[in-house]
Structure 1
């Protein structure tokens, strides 16, 4: 008997009854050998885009396998590529693995999907390729399921302890004032869940949590990392200056020195004290440590030391036009205050003049 954690839940979107029979037989054969295969498949079949959307709302799937030519609605067939609409809907609303399994690969809207992770397979190559793809990504699907479980657990706690008891105060006047109550509650829940999970983890974070890759905001923001003229920079202008266009005439960037070679030497030789010293900015007020990250091509970048004494000032009009497209990551909100505090501390120091014995 296969462990329940190793059951993948898959939505099969296909309107051809003979193909559905093939799927049923293939999944039954796979599950009969689940001990060797490493996982079972539980599947739900849908024949049209509206029905598939309903099933996505009422079930939690790990992956979806979508044919492009589907029934317009239940029982109504015509030549179409409605599967593209469903794939775009999934990408916009749910974190699932997606396979386009079609006999018309040229009709797959690769550019319209907007993400490279959608796998496009030819029906003529059979169903085994889908099972191999599921096996390849099984660990990711299972980890994502654990993420959902953790989020739901903390959301339930916040809901029963905080939101429900105060619900009437949330709703009073909301509709009349045009307040998007769902957005307010969502932000409230996310903030609580984030702190709860951080506390449960002993207030320890993974380096990748330091960043959003790519940046979430379309506009320039404090903590944005970018490449310019062969050098890495970070935006250190205050957020209020960047949020209000025309407020300032100058945008400030601080240089980021790549210390990856030094970091690699220290981590490879397990010199924990030296690593800890670097993380503490090498005890220097003029610099700030940034952890390494993985970019969208899975290349490691950094770590860096931000150099507060190496500042580039650009005209705001030029910076706001030129820099957003040069960004590759941005610091997450949890880590921006530390950067701003240390940058402000460095520039607010007074110091004293040197003394001469002459």
Structure 2
């Protein structure tokens, strides 16, 4: 091993030997523990990793200062952290280091400590922080590292992911070429910063909406519909609420909600799919019939529910976390005071791209007027030149 500013580094695998390299930082001051982790990694690389084209490449540090140096200098996909470093009696260094990583970086953290209760609060709040005892099998940690890596989240929004790549392109490909247009003297500081953020997000959205390979619009994943927990501190259009029995969505106009110009708030009930008789019938028909033709027809009907083409009074929301999904029923409307809503739970918000369509469909549903039926026979005669006997 070679030492550099508190950093002890061991690169056991060359990058050329695998299709996927996972860079792991080990923050541990006991040589014996480091060797145990490295042996488990070598075993994984030789067996399962070799079969799957995955290799873990580790770097070991034995101080919090060395860890910070490594994190600033290199890019990692995950970190294994011991809470007590340098033989200290306390565990503050390890906990402080974890908090710094959470505050500044984007990578999963695997705490391996004899005092896992010291970070129980952090791990319960953050799904990217997993806690293990020193006596736990290291293979369990390796499996979790592979699991996190395979879900693709860090590869997308991590410090070396696709979002970071787009931000770099935005900075050098856009802002650096028209920086003269951004005259800070025209706006106060807070408005200037908001303007920059909005423009940056608009450019980022453009990148993410277009498939790089085909140059066409992408389909959205169902979880993109929701923001949980809600970012806005107050009730707002598109918020999802629930009580002991049902889920609801706030439909009061966004402008009224933003300016708090309301006496009561409009909510609509969200009905679970398994309570909608017509949906259940088509679903059962698809599952139970052996006829391909009938299956196709039943599938088409189910798709109509999911694409909001079945009935104007319904708007579909997909399953998300504890919310089982369902249909907003624009006919089941209630008006509630803020105090009455305070007795409910605020679960999530609908993201902007989806909430706008909900608002438009809700408005159209109640604004529809309809018209008298026209004489189809007369119309067909003028359009198709039908004979009298037809």
TM-score (norm 2): 0.74
Structure 2 unmatched runs, 5+: 1-14, 288-294, 373-390
Equivalent in the alignment of 1:252: 266
CA displacement, residues 94-129 of structure 1 (integer Å, 9 cap, x when unaligned): 3322211012233x2211442255222121335333
1:37 Cα offset (Å): 6.9
1:288 Cα offset (Å): 3.4
Equivalent position SS for 2:59: strand
2:163 to 143, 146, 151: 151
CA displacement, residues 203-241 of structure 1 (integer Å, 9 cap, x when unaligned): 422222222233333322211112124122110012222
The question of 1:6 aligning with 2:20 is answered: yes
Q: Per the alignment, do residues 312 and 121 of structure 1 end up closer, same or farther by CA in structure 2, a change over 3 Å counting? A: same
- Partner Cα separation in structure 1 for residue 284 and residue 76 of structure 2: 43
Q: Per the alignment, do residues 57 and 185 of structure 1 end up closer, same or farther by CA in structure 2, a change over 3 Å counting? A: farther
- Partner Cα separation in structure 1 for residue 42 and residue 157 of structure 2: 29
Q: Which moved more, 1:263-272 or 1:337-346?
A: 263-272
Contact 1:11 1:46 in 2 (8 A): yes
Equivalent in the alignment of 1:316: 338
- Partner Cα separation in structure 1 for residue 19 and residue 105 of structure 2: 20
CA displacement, residues 7-30 of structure 1 (integer Å, 9 cap, x when unaligned): 111111112344334444544454
Equivalent in the alignment of 2:318: 292
- Partner Cα separation in structure 2 for residue 3 and residue 139 of structure 1: 19
Higher relative contact order (CA 8 A, sep 6+): 1
Equivalent in the alignment of 1:111: 121
1:189-200 to 2 correspondences below 5 Å: 189-200=200-211
1:6 Cα offset (Å): 2.1
Equivalent in the alignment of 1:226: 241
Contact 2:315 2:329 in 1 (8 A): no
Q: Per the alignment, do residues 150 and 117 of structure 1 end up closer, same or farther by CA in structure 2, a change over 3 Å counting? A: closer
Contact 2:21 2:57 in 1 (8 A): yes
Structure 1 unmatched runs, 5+: 354-358
Equivalent in the alignment of 1:356: none
- Partner Cα separation in structure 2 for residue 205 and residue 147 of structure 1: 17
Larger radius of gyration: 2
- Partner Cα separation in structure 2 for residue 35 and residue 51 of structure 1: 30
Would you say how many aligned residue pairs link Structure 1 and Structure 2? Answer: 338
Supply the RMSD in Å over aligned alpha carbons.
Answer: 3.3
- Partner Cα separation in structure 1 for residue 183 and residue 29 of structure 2: 44
Equivalent in the alignment of 2:358: 339
Q: Per the alignment, do residues 82 and 198 of structure 1 end up closer, same or farther by CA in structure 2, a change over 3 Å counting? A: same
2:75 to 47, 51, 60: 60
1:185 Cα offset (Å): 3.6
Q: Which moved more, 1:204-213 or 1:90-99?
A: 90-99
1:338 Cα offset (Å): 0.7
